[in-house]
């Protein structure tokens, strides 16, 4: 029947576009998503007696464009993975995507950047102190504090921690990294569940 062929063509074209739009993702996950959507369409087709092509078109319209649907899948999936894994790249990526959608996301992204920088900064100081004892430290340069390496650490700046920066950095650095990760994962989990935007 012509209408049946037409329905098939529509479905295959939709799934092909969806596959492309899903982009980089493990093949198994992609296959799972495609079969979910395929079966959903089949279910609609088998449940109705009207013209197959019309029902296929209606179902496809209800799913939204393949690009929009793929974007929703990618976003939901990214969030789930960022919460489940401590990988900084995933968390940075997910939070950056969130930051693009509004103030809350932006603040979370800012917190992530500050926390990571602080953690890495403390760690770097602790590790560099033995090699550059006169240049690395926590400097007081009123009214500001600065942490790190200064080539011209003169009289203007006062170093506050001395060798204490090593144990302090070794403890504070990793703690800051871990707590930043947990905080941002918690924020992601608590984000308003807006499925289309976020």
Partner 1 sequence: MAPDNWDAQLRKGCLELAILASLWAEPLYGLGMLRFLRSRGGMEVAEGTLYPILNRLRIDGLLTSEWRDAGTGHPRKYYTLTEPGRAKTMEMAAAWSAFSAQMDEVLSAVNPQGKHNGDAD
| 75-104: contacts with partner 1 (CB under 8 A) | 75-77, 79-81, 83-84
Burial of 181 (0-12, 13-18, 19+ CB in 10 A): buried
Q: Which of 8, 19, 30, 44 binds partner 1 (CB under 8 A)?
A: 44
| Selection from 5, 19, 17 nearest residue 56 by Cα | 5
Of 45 and 138, CB closest to partner 1: 45
> 56: buried, middle or exposed (CB in 10 Å: 19+, 13-18, 0-12)?
buried
Cα(116)–Cα(76) distance, integer angstroms? 24
- C-beta atoms surrounding 107 within 10 Å: 13
In the complex with partner 1, the residue whose CB is nearer, 39 or 158, is 39
> Which residue's CB is nearer to partner 1, number 47 or number 143?
47
Report CA 68 to chain centroid distance, whole Å: 18
Footprint (CB under 8 A) of partner 1, residues 134-153: none
- Is position 20 an interface residue for partner 1 (rule: CB under 8 A)? no
Locate the DSSP E strands across the chain: 136-141, 144-149, 158-159
**Residue-wise over 12-39: b if at least 16 C-beta within 10 A, else e?**
eebbeebbebbeebeeeebeebeeebee
Alpha carbons 145 and 133: distance in angstroms, whole number: 18
CB of 135 or CB of 191, closer to partner 1: 191
193 counts as binding partner 1 under rule CB under 8 A: yes
Taking the complex as a whole, the smallest distance from the CB of residue 55 to partner 1 amounts, in Å, to 13
Q: Could you give the angle at the alpha carbon of 87 between the alpha carbons of 81 and 89, nearest 5°?
A: 95
* Interface segment toward partner 1; rule CB under 8 A; list 6-14, 60-68, 159-167, 168-176: 60-68
Of residues 22-41, those binding partner 1 (CB under 8 A): 32-33, 36-37, 39-40
Q: Which is nearer to partner 1, 154 or 194 (CB)?
A: 194
Least gap, CB of 99 to partner 1 (angstroms): 19
**48 vs 146, beta carbon nearer partner 1:** 48
Using CB under 8 A, list all residues that contact partner 1.
32-33, 36-37, 39-40, 42-44, 46-47, 59, 62-64, 68-69, 72-73, 75-77, 79-81, 83-84, 192-196
């Amino acid at each position: 029947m012509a209408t049946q062929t037409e329905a098939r063509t529509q479905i295959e074209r939709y799934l092909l576009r969806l596959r492309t739009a899903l982009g980089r993702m493990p093949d198994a996950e992609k296959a799972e998503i495609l079969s979910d959507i395929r079966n959903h369409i089949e279910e609609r087709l088998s449940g109705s007696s009207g013209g197959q092509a019309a029902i296929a078109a209606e179902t496809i319209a209800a799913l939204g464009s393949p690009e929009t649907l793929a974007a929703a899948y990618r976003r939901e999936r990214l969030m789930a993975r960022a919460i489940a894994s401590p990988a900084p790249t995933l968390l940075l990526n997910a939070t950056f995507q969130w930051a693009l959608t509004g103030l809350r996301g932006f603040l979370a992204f800012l917190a992530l950047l500050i926390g990571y920088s602080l953690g890495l900064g403390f760690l770097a100081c602790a590790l560099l102190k033995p090699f550059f004892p006169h240049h690395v430290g926590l400097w007081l340069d009123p009214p500001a504090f600065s942490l790190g390496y200064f080539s011209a650490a003169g009289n203007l700046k006062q170093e506050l921690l001395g060798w204490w920066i090593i144990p302090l950095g070794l403890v504070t650095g990793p703690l800051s990294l871990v707590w930043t990760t947990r905080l941002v994962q918690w924020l992601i989990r608590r984000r308003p569940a807006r499925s289309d935007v976020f």
